[in-house]
Amino acid sequence: MVDPGNRDLLASAIDKYLAIGQIENAKRHADVAISRFPDDRYFQNRLGNVMLAQGNLPRAEEIFEQLLDNAPDDNIRFNLAYTYYLQGRYTQASELLLPIVEQAQRPVGAVTLLLRVLHQQGDVKSAIDLVERNMPLCGADTDFLAVASLLYFDDGQIEKARQTSTAAQSDGTHLLEALVVGASLSLGEGDVAAAATQFAEAVAISPRDGRSWAGMGMVSMVKQDLTGAARQLERAIGYMPSHIGTRHLLGWCKIFSHDLAAADQVFLQALSLDRNFGESHGGLAVVAAIRGDRLRAEECIKRAVGLDPKSLSARYASMVLSGDIKDLVKLREIATKALAMRSNPFVKSLAQVAGKLTPK
């Protein structure tokens, strides 16, 4: 135990144990520090960081809010914003971060966290603008570059995504977002082995990252491992319950597995999230068409096309009804080939890319 009366040694010990992941030791020293210096804001802040590391977000939030109420401090603002971000309270996180990133001497970490917040809010346009404005200041920071690569990727700026993903990993550091982008690009180029390795590494870094699990599921689909794909996609949905595209992928996986009852349920679940998503109706149409339920298939096709005149799953259903696709093997062959060619594994549905291989 560090000399409990030595303030500097206590602070150093807490920071050291946090840095090497020995959270219990950090907590023990933080408790001693608070008992000896109960009014010390820096030790209170360190205790909040320990709570963050332990995953005790409500307690961390309480500590940081009390500190911020007593006196304004950008470091505390950032810590509280990070606590909000981890809890999915993105609006509150953004409100705290905006004043920080508008400063001339803004910290790179605050810019990067705001990028993550904007991405979670679905505001890719504002996030890309923030990337471009801060590239001169933050372009040497690997964490910033990794997040930027994912934003470029989701915005369809593939070459910028490739460049920033590569730059983010140039020093040998493997960061989650850069790995996901690299894996996605590998899958798009047909290098399934590289994609599998990169997605597996991403999952190892962040076992609760839904996109990485969805990527693993798509790799398994390309490999025709439908059992593994279903398991991985279900896990992805557990972490991204509102992501309709992943449910579509799982629905198609169930179709390929001849589990039409399960596929029907998956597409119905997707509809419960958004009744106006044409591809969900189209997925139901495919299931009905394969079952030979022409009336239901035609009703679902009508809804799908009404919402999206270019609905590709509706096109598949029509092809099944007309006999142009006579069995699931052919449908599966078309779709899995498309998966291996795709550049973005997180588009709204498998049908969107599989359609590239069907006659126009």
pLDDT tens figures, 241-297: 998 989 999 999 999 999 999 999 999 999 999 999 998 999 999 999 999 999 999
**Which residues, including other chains, have CB under 8 Å from residue 249's CB and lie 6 or more apart?**
214, 217, 218, 221, 233, 349, 350
In a domain, 174, yes or no: no
> Range of 82's domain?
1-97
Quote the pLDDT of residue 354: 47
Residue 243's alpha-carbon distances to 106, 146, 163, 201, in angstroms, are 33, 22, 27, 22
What CATH number did the domain enclosing 37 receive?
1.25.40.10
Number of structural domains, the chain? Answer: 1
Q: How many helices (H) and strands (E) does the chain have?
A: 21, 0
Highest mean pLDDT among 105-119, 209-223, 324-338: 105-119
- Cα 41 to Cα 23, 79, 298: the distances in Å are 20, 13, 66
Q: What pLDDT does residue 4 have?
A: 57
Within-domain flag for 121: no
Q: Is residue 66 part of a domain?
A: yes
Q: Would 63 be classed as within a structural domain?
A: yes
Domain assignment of residue 35, yes or no: yes
- Count other Cβ atoms within 10 Å, centred on residue 19: 9
* CB-side neighbour CA atoms (13 Å) of 317: 33
Total residue length of the chain:
360
- Structure pTM? 0.83
Can you tell me whether residue 16 is helix, strand or coil?
A: helix
